[in-house]
Structure 1
Amino acid sequence: MLDKKQFITIKGTREGLTLFIDESCSFDEAIIELNDKLISSRPNKDEPVVSVKVKLGKRYLYKEQEEQLRSIIAGESRFNIQAVDSDVITREEALLWKEESEIQAISRIVRSGQVLEVTGDLLLIGDVNPGGKVVSTGNIYIMGNLFGIAHAGVNGDRNAFIAASFMKPSQLRIADYISRAPDYESDGVYMECGLIDEEQDKIIIDRLQVLSHKGILISGFERRMQNG
């Protein structure tokens, strides 16, 4: 008699448990087997809470299905769900992914009191005057003078950077980092960029060549392909 195919695989890691759900079975079959597997894998009450990551492969779960899955795992009080990952995304998610990965090319001058805000990377052909501000969820490239404020990675992307033909900003911001006056040369700099230096834990100004030397991903698309 052939052994019944296993739809749920649980592997232990240093971080906790990784739960793989076979993409070929029905959702109901997966739920039934999941219940059995969790009961047999339940930690003792004296053990610490175990983190669980769920890998769905090429399976997409509707919101109600994911809520049911989370409820079953969370129902075992000793398990804590870290993530539910799928290789499949919806059309709406794909369109948003595309929007956030594109470069928005704009030709204008951002004057005092004006704010230019885009989703994705910003390529500005023009100047940012004192009192002007440019904001992007990705990188910022300015083919002109940066005298005002530039905020890259506004949604928390600390790998974003800011480059300008001439850089003498009143302020640079990347994700939750804010630059301060001592980081700048008083006369400004040509063809350089601002980026986060993790070791110094601050925004620094450096040559554009540092981007390739450090293997920094230039486009939002590259960053998304690497980071998922």
Structure 2
Amino acid sequence: MLDRKQMITIKGTKDGLTLFIDDRCSFKEAMAELEEKLTELNPRPDEPVVSVIVKLGNRYIDGQQKEELNRLIGEKNRFSIVAFESDVVRREDALGWKEDSEVKAVNRIVRSGQVLEVTGDLLLIGDVNPGGRVVSTGNIFVMGSLRGIAHAGSKGDRNAVIAAAYMKPSQLRIADYISRAPDYESDGVYMECGLIDEAQDKIVIDRLQVLSHKRKDISGFERRMYNG
């Protein structure tokens, strides 16, 4: 049988308290142990409210159980839960994160008046013609000519990038940034990318090679392509 003293561990930090709940015991047992420990602490009514982070380990708790913990910790105590931290995620959340990080490979031409919209990164093997539009919550990579509109990071990701084998867009958008059609000395440029330059507070066009320096996490795209 699990030693009850190991069920609940409370540690003080500079920001308040961290409460560890052993994930091997039942929730009911943990609540009983926690009530005893809080009674021992017995804070005075004039003491300031202390912030508490609850670490659950490999345990998932639902909304009702969170309410029980909030009620137990806050009732007659000078404590307030500011966060629950768990190594377990709901299946729905995991599937959502997978979709957000997934690479969508599409082989087609986006013609005038057409809109191609995906969740995650977009790898388009084809062209975006003038009047066509591609939208992605992540990065956009066009293995062809980008002559229409491209909107990356459509849900607010300012680290998203837009890259194309041939870059001559009518408009680039990244998160809430919008750029007009770039002024090119030539008819267009090859192997270029668009990204937000925080210093200039705008979308800039640069060589594709800069991505390895300015967006170091972009290598994750390559891994996802290999791993599927």
Q: C-alpha displacement at 1:38, in angstroms?
A: 6.0
Task: Using structure 2 for the length normalisation, give the TM-score.
Answer: 0.76
Change in 2 beyond 3 A, CA 1:214/1:80? same
Q: Deviations over 1:13-72 (max 9, x none)?
A: 45x54433222222123334445666748697685x655433222111233323433455
**Residue 3 of structure 2 is aligned to residue 5 of structure 1:** no
Aligned residue number for residue 85 of structure 2: 85
Shift of 1:104: 0.9
Task: Quote the residue 2:183 is aligned against.
Answer: 185
Q: Say if 1:19 and 1:221 are closer, same or farther in 2 by CA, change over 3 A.
A: farther
Map of 1:226 onto structure 2: none
Does the CA-based 8 Å contact 1:7-1:25 persist in structure 2? no
> What corresponds to 1:118 in structure 2?
118
Unaligned runs of 5+ in 2: none
* Bigger radius of gyration among the two: 2
Gaps of 5+ in 1: 224-228
Percent of paired sites with the same residue: 60
Verify the 8 A CA contact 2:54 2:81 in the aligned structure 1: no
Change in CA separation of 1:155 and 1:8 when aligned onto 2, cut-off 3 Å: farther
Q: Please list, as runs of the form range in 1=range in 2, the aligned pairs for 1:17-28 lying within 5 A after superposition.
A: 17-28=17-28
Q: Give the deviation of 1:221 after TM superposition.
A: 9.3
Query: What is the count of residue pairs matched by the alignment?
Result: 217
Query: Any idea what the Cα deviations from partners look like across 1:94-132, whole Å, max 9, x if unmatched?
Result: 333322222111111112222111122110011112222
Contact 2:110 2:133 in 1 (8 A): yes
SS in 1 for 2:124: strand
Distance between the aligned counterparts of 2:71 and 2:156, measured in 1?
29
Q: Determine helix, strand or coil for the equivalent of 2:89.
A: coil
Q: Which amino acid aligns with 1:173?
A: R
For residues 11 and 129 of structure 1, do their structure 2 counterparts lie closer, same or farther at Cα, with a shift above 3 Å needed? farther
Structure 1 distance, partners of 2:43, 2:209, is 52
- Opposite residue 168 of structure 2, the aligned amino acid is K
Q: Distance in 2 between matches of 1:160 and 1:152?
A: 6
Counterpart contact for 1:43–1:78, Cα < 8 Å = no
Which amino acid is 2:180 matched to? Answer: A
Q: Is 1:100 aligned with 2:114?
A: no
Alignment check: 8 A CA contact 2:195 2:205 kept: yes
What is the TM-score of this pair, normalised by structure 1?
A: 0.76
How far does the alpha carbon of each residue in 1:149-188 deviate from its partner, in whole angstroms, 9 at most, with x for none?
212222232222111112222322222x313238x33343
**Distance change >3 Å, CA 58–CA 164, structure 1 → 2:** same
**Corresponding residue of 2:64:** 64
- Alpha-carbon spacing, 1:79–1:209, altered in 2? closer, same or farther (3 Å): same
CA 60–3 in structure 1, closer or farther in 2 if over 3 Å, else same:
closer
Distance, in Å, in 2 between the alignment partners of 1:157 and 1:151 is 11
From the superposition, tell whether residues 56 and 220 of structure 1 become closer, same or farther in structure 2 (CA, over 3 Å): farther
Q: 1:222, CA displacement in angstroms? A: 7.3
- Which residue is 2:132 aligned to? 132
Verify the 8 A CA contact 1:102 1:221 in the aligned structure 2: no
Distance in structure 2 (CA, Å) of the matches to 1:149 and 1:116: 11
Contact kept, 8 Å, 1:106 with 1:125, in 2: the verdict is yes
2:92 counterpart SS class: helix
- Cross-structure match for 1:198: 198
RMSD: 3.3
Shift of 1:141: 0.5
State the AA in 2 paired with 1:204.
V
Residue 212 to residue 79, structure 1, CA distance change in 2 (3 Å): same
